[in-house]
Amino acid sequence: MSVTSLEPTVLWKHFADLNAVPRPSKHEERVIQFMVDYGNRLGLPTMKDAVGNVIIKKPASQGMENRQTVILQSHLDMVHQKNNDTVFDFSSEGIKMKINGDWVEAEGTTLGADNGIGVSAIMAILESTDIPHPAIEALFTIDEETGMTGAMGLKGGLLDGHILLNLDTEDDDELTIGCAGGIDITATATYEEATAPAGWTWFTMSVKGLTGGHSGMDIHRGRGNANKLMNRLLAGLEKEHCIRIASIDGGGLRNAIPRESVAVFGAEAHRSDGVLSFITEQSAILKQEYATTDPSIDVIITETSAPSNVLSATFQSLVLKAIYACPVGIYRMSPDIEDLVQTSNNLARVEIKDGHASLLCLCRSSVDSEKYDMAQAITSALELAGCEVKLEGGYPGWAPAPHSAIVTLMSDLYSELFDGKAHVNACHAGLECGILGTNYPGVDMISFGPNIRGAHSPDEKVQISSVQKFWKYLLATLERIPEKAS
């Protein structure tokens, strides 16, 4: 059974077509053209703005001309992550999908349901001839996953709608009405190398099998961060066995909790047995600590050939201490909204080799002042290690409006359709609504979507029955949009 045979077939067909187009963040040229061609093929007014966002407008269906115009918004890019043992070229291959019970997933890579399901739903509405809807302004933004530059670059005056439906959340019983802002922390350094000592035993060590996940939506789950765990092991080895490190390579994108890290290091030959015993002991400890959140965690160590150079002893000590001091996970919970993470940090990437070091963080908070305070604390620790630190890509949060017209409408409609109560909340992920609201103040915004699990990781999957529920809810919402104010 293929994905295109699933219901609603019009949505899944577009999802399959979309997933055939490579669309990594920062390299969306092909998917932008794909969407422009789609709008033109439908004969609808279609434009690409200065930064690459695509806007397609469709008139109201018959009898809906007096309803308020609705902006339907999703982002075109997707996170490209794969398992180390998966052979796949994101630059040229389409996502390979499979059905597993009630779920659609990919073969060893991210699926792109975030935010491809939302994009596909909008495409289905644009193409439809039998779905009642008000005038639609479809907004497809770019680069949401690595900077939200599409939302930040969208100019005012291009859209006329007063209601915005963002189709980019991951639980089908939730209505999201607020989100965190974020800021990128980039630390770089050059360091002196030393010649690798002769006669030592050299090792490659991998921390792998972690669950990973979305650094906003999953940050409260207490999952292991491969960069921090690798640093913990290396710092312990430095203290106990005087190791020298040649390289560290861990993690990837800022918005993904790192699942794997690899380091090359050496120790004097007579210490090699002690090194192996230490790792065996520490691996058992980590497996016990993370048995619930990361049941597949593993530490693998093998002997390897000697490198040419290692970090200088001084820089090695300083950078290990700086990474140890860098917080990850929850920094503070909201004192005002129950169970909402207010501020967090993800140490997403550590790359140290060949005289150059790079450490990447994403700090999130729904309180701007606290976001910058935490960023400054992280900056201070990294500067003490001799790093140059830049704070870039800051974007605002989205302040909740729990009694707005669209929130009331969709809350009541959920109860009517599904015999239950929707969870109206704010989330710790970064959504584009806060940014879009800066150039379109007064737009009534809400975010919803189907059940997606494992976003930003190769375990990503979307629930088939939940997509059907989401589709029903979206169509019913469009049919209930109120009339324009007289």
d(CA 66, CA 481): 10
Mean pLDDT, residues 367-388 taken together = 95
CATH number for the domain formed by residue range(s) 3-180+397-480: 3.40.630.10
Q: Which of 378, 396, 408, 406 has its CA nearest to residue 435?
A: 396
Q: Which two tokens stand for residue 170?
A: 């991951």
SS3 at position 443: coil
Helices (H) and strands (E) in the chain, counts: 11, 23
pLDDT at 84: 83
Q: How confident is the model over 51-64, as pLDDT tens digits?
A: 999 999 999 999 99
Q: Which residues contact 27 (CB under 8 A, 6 or more apart)?
A: 91
Q: Which of 482, 481, 399 has its CA nearest to residue 433?
A: 399
pLDDT at 134: 98
pLDDT at 384: 95
Q: How confident is the model over 95-154, as pLDDT tens digits?
A: 999 999 999 999 999 999 999 999 999 999 999 999 999 999 999 999 999 888 999 999
How much of the chain exceeds pLDDT 70, in percent?
A: 100
Prediction pTM value? 0.74
- pLDDT tier at 395 (50, 70, 90 boundaries)? confident
Q: Which of 186, 124, 171 has its CA nearest to residue 391?
A: 186
d(CA 93, CA 274): 45
Region of 242 please: left (phi>0), alpha (psi -120 to 50) or beta: left
- For residue 28, pLDDT beyond 80: yes
List the catalytic residues. Answer: 77, 144
Q: Which of 282, 302, 185, 291 has its CA nearest to residue 237?
A: 282
User: Domain-by-domain residue ranges, the chain?
Assistant: 3-180+397-480, 183-395
pLDDT at 338: 84
Burial 287-307 (b: 16+ CB within 10 A, else e): beebeeebeebebebeeeeeb
- For residue 247, pLDDT beyond 90: yes
How much of the chain exceeds pLDDT 90, in percent?
A: 89
- pLDDT tier at 456 (50, 70, 90 boundaries)? confident
Instruction: Tell me whether domains 3-180+397-480 and 183-395 share a fold.
Output: no
- pLDDT tier at 265 (50, 70, 90 boundaries)? very high
Q: How confident is the model over 149-167, as pLDDT tens digits?
A: 999 999 999 999 999 999 9
206, β-bridge pairs: 262, 300
Mean pLDDT, residues 300-321 taken together = 98
Mean pLDDT, residues 217-236 taken together = 97
Q: Which two tokens stand for residue 476?
A: 């019913």
Amino acid identity at 361: C
Are residues 83 and 59 in contact, defined by beta-carbon separation less than 8 angstroms? no
Number of other residues whose CB lies within 10 A of the CB of residue 328: 21
- For residue 291, pLDDT beyond 80: yes
What is the pLDDT of the chain when averaged over all its residues?
96
Q: Which two tokens stand for residue 189?
A: 């350094």
pLDDT at 288: 98
- pLDDT tier at 485 (50, 70, 90 boundaries)? confident
Q: How confident is the model over 69-104, as pLDDT tens digits?
A: 999 999 999 999 898 888 999 999 999 999 999 999
Q: How confident is the model over 176-217, as pLDDT tens digits?
A: 999 999 999 999 999 999 999 999 999 999 999 999 999 998
pLDDT at 212: 95
67, β-bridge pairs: 483
CATH topology of domain 183-395: Alpha-Beta Plaits (3.30.70)
- For residue 418, pLDDT beyond 90: yes
- For residue 486, pLDDT beyond 80: no
How distant, in Å, are the alpha carbons of 86, 135, 177, 447 from that of 410? 41, 18, 11, 10
